[in-house]
Structure 1
Amino acid sequence: MKYQIAYESLRGARPSNQDRVAHAERNNAVLMVLADGLGGHRGGETAAELLTQTVVRAFRTVRQPVIQQPSAFLALSILQAHNAIYEYAKTAPELTPRTTCVLCLVQNGFAYWAHVGDSRLYHVRGGRLRVRTHDHTTTEALRQEGLLSDEEMRDHPQKSRLLKCVGGPSRPAISLGEETRLEYGDLLLLCSDGLWEALPPEQLLAFLQRPSVEEAVDDMLAAAEKKMGADSDNLSAVCLRWEEAATRAAPLQGNRAGEVDSNELWEHGTRVTAAQKGRPPKAPAATAGKDIARDIRELE
């Protein structure tokens, strides 16, 4: 695979950095992970760290060269992280660790992504925004109803009110992106709300035209931090530029974008992967669901 990748995380004006970013590579795949620990909950930094470590570990322990169900792998990895955070919280009752996250897996020329909360993925092609994930927030719900613009979202008093996160008492519903065949020059940007709240899409697109993704990430984070000044949140980004022609390989999944019911995924394991956008899940396997690590291995 040919691509450029860069990532960075800044503390901004906050007393600590509760964001975490990572990437990992294996065979013909690369994984990008970004987690933003909730500052209003004690233990947000730990939640983000646990999520990042858990997802990367799951990716590195896949034994076969190709993950056959990439979207299900991402969803199950998030659930495994959710369980790790929830179990950790039981040992430290004074903490309420929570985090948002966005994950992206690029494998054999296709991209797959999943997210919970307001950490975002942008897919840019030919200098134009092709996809932006939908936040799990009150303001995003209002935007979807046509009651708020993107600019109004950034200044709304409820802009930080999350509807979903990882690590809470209930399993989060996980949004999955559509299986996407990458073309030469495509850009995938994962970022925390500290970045996208500071810079509107047109400014992000301008920075992404830099000669290298490292320069793009450095410059956009520096600009966001300078703009927000004493109000700057933690700022994080991971960016990949694809540098191969579009693959002729057939898609593995052919899935549409949608939302996974985490309770069904927990009960039925990998069999719930068809439950997106009105497609009913297959009957549950007799032993499915309780061992998420096993279910991840089954996706090979």
Structure 2
Amino acid sequence: MAVRIDCYGVSDVGNVRKGNEDQFVIADLAKKISFSHSSLHNENSPQLEQVYGKLFVVADGMGGAVAGEQASAIAVETVVEYVLRSMQWSLFLDQSKDADFQDELKKAILYSQNKIQEATEQFPDLQGMGTTLTMACATWPRLYVVHAGDSRCYLKRKSDLKQVTTDHTVVQQLVENGVITEEKAENVQWGNLLWNAIGGNSSELATDIYKLELQHGDMILLCSDGLNKHVTDKEINCLMDLNTNAEDICKNLVELAKEEGGTDNITIVVAHFIDEEKENNKRYEDMETLIEEPAEKAPKQKKEEEEEEEATTKDTERIQSSMDETIVDANIQDLTGGEELS
């Protein structure tokens, strides 16, 4: 890929829940061959690998602690399995087959829907279990986001943060139809009631798919609603402005969500798409600056060194003065024949 991706994910149970029904995955999409033994002369390169892209997935299970955890796990595992085993790898590289690629990503979500239905038929205790799922597939510079439920994907570009996905909640439908305002929607108690999710006693599934053209410096953030229940988009944006390291962003957002209540599980995945060439050039320029212009010493260190140098100079002068006096005395004694002058 033409960029370096700094990515990190974290999932926290929060302050109230006893179990964690969220799941997340960050994965390299790559084909790899490792040689166990070969007659080839180039023994120093025993493997061949081609990286096609990066996969990010967040899922938030529902239906009770055990059922919710299993639903989100089944969804994530089956989506990853479908991408690995069923998708044509050439689709990642051939932009002329963009429509086919998007269809395959939708099929991955439908595949997980079927697997959850099979599990509920086999185990009646899991009846009604379901999960949200938001998946982002990056094959530079394209980013595809596939979505069902109310987990979210955000895109941060420079100082702006934009929600890419639309929540599949009843409240959001009312807002879109002009029944209630966004301000009132924030105070609705049943605001997390879903009309669309994977599983959940419904064989029908609506799948949204979005395509973005990434730029160097972009960041994407995937999260379960345990984050945005307590942290506003403005707060998320401010924190991402203060931190560019993916791990720091994830951990600080989790802490903020918990400080503001932490009533649900909190799962966050962040990816920062860094211009590797620009980064390397800056590192090289910084090294040149260090070589040509040594860094200015800290005032305290500089003062200590000056005081030490001044003390050394005084000691040298004192020793030199003492030596001069000794030499003078010796010369006087030579002149007087060793007799003391009165």
Q: Distance in 2 between matches of 1:104 and 1:242?
A: 13
CA RMSD, Structure 1 to Structure 2 (Å): 1.9
Q: Distance in 1 between matches of 2:265 and 2:183?
A: 20
Q: Tell me which residue corresponds to 2:167.
A: 135
CA contact (8 A) 1:105 1:111 kept: yes
The reply on whether 1:18 has 2:51 as its aligned counterpart is no
TM-score under structure 1 normalisation?
0.76
Q: Tell me which residue corresponds to 1:4.
A: 6
Q: Residues 170-249 of structure 1: matches in 2 within 5 Å?
A: 170-177=203-210, 179-209=211-241, 210-229=243-262, 232-244=263-275
Flag the 1:157–1:131 CA change in 2: closer, same or farther, 3 A: closer
The reply on whether 1:108 has 2:140 as its aligned counterpart is yes
Partner deviation per Cα, 1:103-151 (whole Å, 9 max, x = no partner): 1100131001011111111112112123431111111112213444545
Structure ID, larger Rg: 2
The reply on whether 1:56 has 2:69 as its aligned counterpart is no
Q: Write the letter of the residue equivalent to 1:8.
A: V
Identity between Structure 1 and Structure 2 (%): 27
Q: Distance in 2 between matches of 1:36 and 1:191?
A: 9
Q: Tell me which residue corresponds to 1:99.
A: 131
CA contact (8 A) 1:116 1:174 kept: yes
Flag the 1:63–1:72 CA change in 2: closer, same or farther, 3 A: closer
2:52 to 28, 53, 64: 28
CA contact (8 A) 2:25 2:58 kept: yes
Query: What's the offset of the Cα at 1:19?
Result: 0.2
Query: What's the offset of the Cα at 1:24?
Result: 1.1
Following TM superposition, the consecutive aligned residue runs of length 4 or more in structure 1 with deviations greater than 6 angstroms are: none
Instruction: Compare the two structures and name the one with the higher helix fraction.
Output: 2
Where structure 2 has 5 or more consecutive residues not aligned to the other structure, the ranges are 30-50, 277-342
TM-score under structure 2 normalisation?
0.67
Aligned residues: 242
Secondary structure of the structure 1 residue equivalent to 2:114: helix
Q: Tell me which residue corresponds to 1:287.
A: none
CA contact (8 A) 1:82 1:171 kept: no
The reply on whether 1:74 has 2:77 as its aligned counterpart is no
Where structure 1 has 5 or more consecutive residues not aligned to the other structure, the ranges are 246-300
Deviates more, 1:6-15 or 1:37-46: 37-46
Q: Distance in 2 between matches of 1:24 and 1:34?
A: 12
Query: What's the offset of the Cα at 1:87?
Result: 0.3
Q: Write the letter of the residue equivalent to 1:45.
A: E
Q: Tell me which residue corresponds to 1:154.
A: 186
Query: What's the offset of the Cα at 1:41?
Result: 7.9
